[in-house]
Structures are given as C-alpha cells and as structure tokens.
C-alpha cells in the first residue's frame, strides 16, 4: 500500500507538465495496443506490440498521462492503476500490467499506450489512452434458439450484466454456445451484432442456430464400492436427450447421499465424448461417469460428552467433505473453545485417525475437567475508578462461569477506561 501511495505521489508531482506535454506528442510516437475481445481477465498474451518494445525498455519515465476519450484525467481511480510512475525505469511487464488493470475494470472497451521521447537525455513520456465502454440498452435473440429466450437472457445477464458493453458481444456469444452445448445442442452456432436505432439506442443481437439436440450414446459407470441404493438413483440411459446439467444434478445428489452416509470425501464426475450420429441423424454423446465413494468415515467422541446438536458445527467434516489434518486441527480448537465457554478452564482435547475394515475412524478424546466459577473479585493497584464504575465494566460476578477470554477482555476494557479517566481528572 505504501509503495502504491509513493507511486501516486510521484505521478501527481509530474501531472501538470504531463498534461501540457500531451499537445506536443509526436505523430511518430510508438504505440502499444491492447484490445482484448473476450473475458475481462485478459492475459499478457492479449497485449499486442505494434513496434519494437525492447527499444524503450529501461528508459527513464519522465512524464505519465491518462486520457479518457482524448481528455486528460487525474482521477485517483485510474492514477492508482499506473505501474510506470515518473522516475521509474520503463518495464514492459509493468506497462502491459497497467493496460490490463485498466481493461479489467470493465469500464473501457479499448486501452492502449503511446511512448514518445522527452528531451535529449533518453527520457520518455507514457500516455495511457482509454476508450470508454458503451453499453447496450437491450438484448435480442433470433433464429433456432434451442433454449427458452428467457433462459438465454438470464445466461447473458448473469455473466455480463443487463447492459453489457458492445465489446463483450463475442464473449457473450461464446458463453451462450457453451451453455447450448452443455444442454445437448452440440452443433450450436451463435453469432452476434450490435444494432443501433434512429434514437441512438443499441441492441445486442444474437443469431442462433441450435441444430439438432444430441442423445446419449453409450453409458459407462465406474463406481467400485458404490452402495447399490445410490447407483440405482442414477438415471442416465442410452437414447435419451443429452443434458449435462441434468447429469451433474444427479451426481450432486449422489455425492450428497454418500457424504450423509459418512463418505465425506466422495467425488463424482462425468466425461462426455462425441460419438457420431444416430440412424435418425441426431448427434450422439457417449457418457462416462466416475464415482469414487472414498473411505467410510466414522466420527467418534470419547471421554466427556459433546452435545449431539453441536458436533456437526464443531467438526464440519461432512460440510467440508474432508478429513484432512488441517480441518481436524481446526475442529480440535473449536471443541476446546466450546468447552472453555462452558467454564471448563482446563479442558484438553485430542484426536486420532484409525484404519477400520470399512474405512477410517476419527476419534476425538475429550477431557473437559471440572467447571470453574468466579470466587472473589479483587481490583489491585491505583484506583482511578470507583467500585460502581468498575462494576459497569467488569460484568462478571462471583459465582459466574470463569471464561478466561471474557475476563481478559473486560480487564483490558477496565484498564483503557481507567487510563482515560485518569487523564481527564
């Protein structure tokens, strides 16, 4: 954060001279262009050099400017994204990173940079030129849609918003194609165009040719050790409409059932493979399903009891679908904190993992110990507070459960108030 502030202060120190210098930019100034047309999370490979960038590497940056639609700006939102501040040696990595910072805000449909010499000592001026993204006012879907128009609209809006920038049209078309493919329209084609009416309102139009819907070809299920009742719930049959989201929902249900039964590390996946066409001309997709139940985990508690209603919260192996060491260590600490809050000041908790014929047993050993309560409360040292004032801070009373963390926090609060009142008196 301090490094970013230092860069911003140096940027502001040079900004006045930079804005003046904008009018003096040489027509021959080198350009570095970046106009990614897909996802905002562009990669450095999307930054294309239209000159020999190595010629400028290492030169001292004397002036930096940011322009939006041709107008210079010193808005901190954009200044803070610059990785090539005045006084730095130009790094092409920093230059491209800055371009990507701007583009990834989603506010600009195009970004580029110009580099021009300044003076005779090898210094340079870097100008970042940003073209604002123009939004569209509507979405339109035409042709053989395959899916309901409302569903297609939801897909676009969820990913790109209700008014996506025109520059996101191709990316939106790719997302729609992927979703249609997942729902069985494996030959779907989606093209897009921006239409602007006489009032200047723009509509992003998608022309869709969904094609014939695929059917399931061969089905193979690799599920060694899978309980019969879970396998019987899988309903993927040859000849039916291929719909990957539906298959994924079935696998989610299988994972949920397995984890509920104690197979906390169960996994399930589907691998579709194109398989030609049926005699009726429908595309075929072979479906390979792999389900790994994982070990049957038995969770046990020995020693002093832990309430049944709290066990899933304190030891969330089912929710996290894991029994790794980090999770078990965290669970141990949660159990300790739970016991401390009940007044078991000296509670001790441990756990062990034991192989069983059916899988794995995780056993937590709990030694809660006796319950501690507060006896007498003594306040020693210089008293800046009256007994009444102390009582309003130390909410504990003799006979209350002794919870060390609570007493510590109340003692710290008393000390802070005491110092404040001592200074004011």
297: nearest Cα among 320, 319, 322: 322
Give tens-digit pLDDT for 49-87: 344 556 788 899 999 999 998 899 999 999 999 999 999
Architecture (CATH level 2) of domain 2-132: Roll (3.10)
66: nearest Cα among 57, 75, 58, 55: 75
- What is the Cα–Cα distance from 409 to 14, expressed in whole angstroms? 49
Question: CATH 1.20.120.530: does it fit domain 138-209?
Answer: no
- What is the Cα–Cα distance from 322 to 74, expressed in whole angstroms? 50
pLDDT of res. 45 = 33
| pLDDT winner (highest mean) among 9-13, 375-379, 399-403 | 399-403
Task: Kindly state the DSSP code that residue 291 receives in the 8-state scheme.
Answer: E
Could you give the count of Cα atoms lying within 13 Å of 239 in the half-sphere of its Cβ?
2
Assigned fold of 296-367: Ubiquitin-like (UB roll) (3.10.20)
Task: Look at domain 215-292 and name its CATH class.
Answer: alpha beta
The yes-or-no verdict on residue 182 having pLDDT over 80 is: yes
- What is the Cα–Cα distance from 384 to 201, expressed in whole angstroms? 71
At 237, list the tokens: 């049959």
Give tens-digit pLDDT for 117-163: 888 888 899 999 998 877 788 999 999 999 999 999 999 999 988 88
Give tens-digit pLDDT for 208-241: 999 999 999 999 999 988 888 888 889 999 999 9
Chain position carrying tokens 């100008």:
127
Chain position carrying tokens 């993992």:
353
5: nearest Cα among 60, 89, 82, 72: 82
Sequence-distant (6+) residues with CB within 8 A of 400 are 373, 374
- What is the Cα–Cα distance from 208 to 398, expressed in whole angstroms? 76
Give tens-digit pLDDT for 294-344: 889 999 999 999 999 999 999 998 888 888 899 999 999 999 999 998 899
Residue 239 contacts residue 220 (beta carbons within 8 Å): no
Decide if 2-132 and 296-367 have a common fold. Answer: yes
Chain position carrying tokens 């989603």:
106
Question: How crowded is residue 56: how many other Cβ atoms within 10 Å of its Cβ?
Answer: 19
- What is the Cα–Cα distance from 403 to 342, expressed in whole angstroms? 8
User: What is the side-by-side strand order in the sheet with 48-49?
Assistant: 48-49, 30-34, 108-118, 123-132, 61-68, 71-73
Domains of the chain by residue range: 2-132, 138-209, 215-292, 296-367, 387-424
């Amino acid at each position: 954060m301090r490094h970013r502030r230092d860069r911003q202060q140096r940027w502001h120190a040079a900004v006045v001279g930079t804005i003046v210098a904008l009018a003096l930019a040489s027509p021959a100034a080198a350009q570095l262009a970046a106009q990614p047309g897909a996802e905002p999370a562009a990669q450095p490979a999307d930054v294309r050099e239209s000159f020999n960038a190595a010629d400028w590497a290492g030169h001292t940056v004397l002036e930096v400017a940011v322009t939006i639609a041709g107008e210079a700006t010193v808005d901190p939102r954009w200044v803070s994204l610059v990785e090539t501040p005045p006084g730095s040696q130009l790094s092409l990595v920093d230059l491209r990173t800055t371009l990507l910072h701007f583009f990834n805000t989603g506010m600009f449909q195009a970004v580029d940079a110009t580099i021009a010499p300044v003076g005779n000592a090898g210094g340079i001026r870097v100008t970042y030129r940003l073209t604002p993204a123009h939004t569209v006012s509507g979405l339109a879907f035409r042709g053989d849609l395959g899916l309901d128009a409302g569903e297609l609209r939801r897909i676009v809006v969820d990913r790109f918003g209700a008014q996506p920038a025109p520059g996101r049209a191709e990316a939106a078309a790719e997302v729609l194609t992927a979703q249609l493919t997942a729902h069985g329209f494996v030959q779907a084609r989606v093209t897009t165009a921006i239409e602007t009416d006489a009032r200047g309102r723009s509509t992003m139009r998608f022309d869709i040719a969904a094609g014939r819907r695929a059917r399931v070809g061969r089905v193979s299920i690799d599920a060694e050790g899978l309980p019969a009742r879970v396998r019987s719930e899988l309903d993927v049959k040859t000849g039916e409409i291929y719909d990957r989201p539906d298959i994924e929902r079935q696998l989610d249900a299988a994972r949920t059932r397995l984890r509920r039964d104690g197979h906390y590390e169960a996994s399930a996946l589907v691998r579709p493979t194109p398989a030609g066409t049926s005699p009726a001309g429908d595309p075929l997709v072979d479906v390979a399903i792999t389900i790994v139940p994982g070990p049957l985990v038995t969770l046990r508690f020995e020693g002093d009891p832990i309430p049944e209603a709290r066990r899933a919260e304190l030891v969330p192996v089912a929710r996290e679908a894991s029994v790794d060491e980090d999770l078990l260590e965290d669970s141990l600490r949660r159990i300790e904190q739970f016991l401390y809050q009940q007044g078991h000041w000296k509670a001790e908790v441990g756990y062990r993992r034991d192989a069983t014929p059916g899988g794995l047993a995780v056993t937590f050993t709990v030694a809660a110990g006796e319950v501690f309560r507060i006896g007498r409360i003594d306040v020693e040292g210089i008293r800046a507070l009256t007994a009444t004032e102390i009582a309003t801070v130390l909410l504990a009373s003799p006979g209350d459960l002794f919870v060390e963390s609570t007493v510590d926090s109340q003692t710290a609060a008393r000390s802070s108030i005491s110092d404040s009142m001592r200074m004011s008196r």
